Amino acid sequence: MSVFIHHAAEAAIADWIERHLRDALARGNDPVAITVPGGSTPFPIFERLARRDLDWSRIEIWPGDDRVVPEDHAASNTGRIRAIFEPAGARVETLGEDADLPPFALTWLGMGADGHIASLFANTDPDPDDPRRVRRLTPDPLPAEAPFDRITLTIPSLIATRALMFVIRGEEKLAVFEKAARGEGDLPIARLLARARAHGIAVTCFT
């Protein structure tokens, strides 16, 4: 079941994530890992979150996907995430095909209007039972604004988590998400949410 929190301000989303991280940190002494998206929407929230008084030294942050470019390239999600969270004390990981992924306390995803999540586009036919944790792939067609190969978590990796959250802005995207949440269609978002339901994973969607 998906819980929708409408008209959520960036500060309120940061508050929610902070509470989730505090709860995860309180469950033990091990590192707490989360995975986060790129794109324009998350970064103002990242900046607010990084100023919160958390034990960042125990928090690992994994990009859910990235363009295959050097981290100092303007198109690199990882480089931008690192610049925000490492000064706070967090450990920002580089996503590679041989990455040793932990289970996540939180998987934060965005979604495109075409229903793609991370870099799992419809034309890549993402497998909900993919045996690989991470894949390198080439979007087809390549987006004009970012014509690069991608590296991405697969659906099994994304749902290896205690909770899923989305920030979906705009009526067009929300309609796509709501349809998938009802179990309709076969877009990547629908495949992911179907697996989340099957595994009893809580899904929170901020709009």
- Sheet strands side by side (includes 106-109): 2-5, 202-206, 163-167, 106-109, 32-36, 59-63, 91-92
Identity of the amino acid at 158: L
Q: What average pLDDT does this structure show over 95-100?
A: 95
pLDDT digits (tens, 9 = 90+) for 110-144: 999 999 999 999 999 999 999 999 999 998 888 88
User: Do 106 and 165 touch, CB atoms closer than 8 A?
Assistant: yes
User: Do 130 and 154 touch, CB atoms closer than 8 A?
Assistant: yes
Q: What average pLDDT does this structure show over 38-52?
A: 96
Q: Which CATH architecture has domain 2-206?
A: 3-Layer(aba) Sandwich (3.40)
Instruction: Kindly report the average pLDDT of the chain as a whole number.
Output: 96
pLDDT digits (tens, 9 = 90+) for 19-40: 999 999 999 999 999 999 998 8
Which of left, alpha, beta for 170 (phi over 0: left; psi -120 to 50: alpha)? left
pLDDT digits (tens, 9 = 90+) for 150-166: 999 999 999 999 999 99
- pLDDT score, position 32: 98
- pLDDT score, position 60: 98
Four-residue CA torsion sign, 199, 36, 132, 179? positive
- pLDDT score, position 139: 84
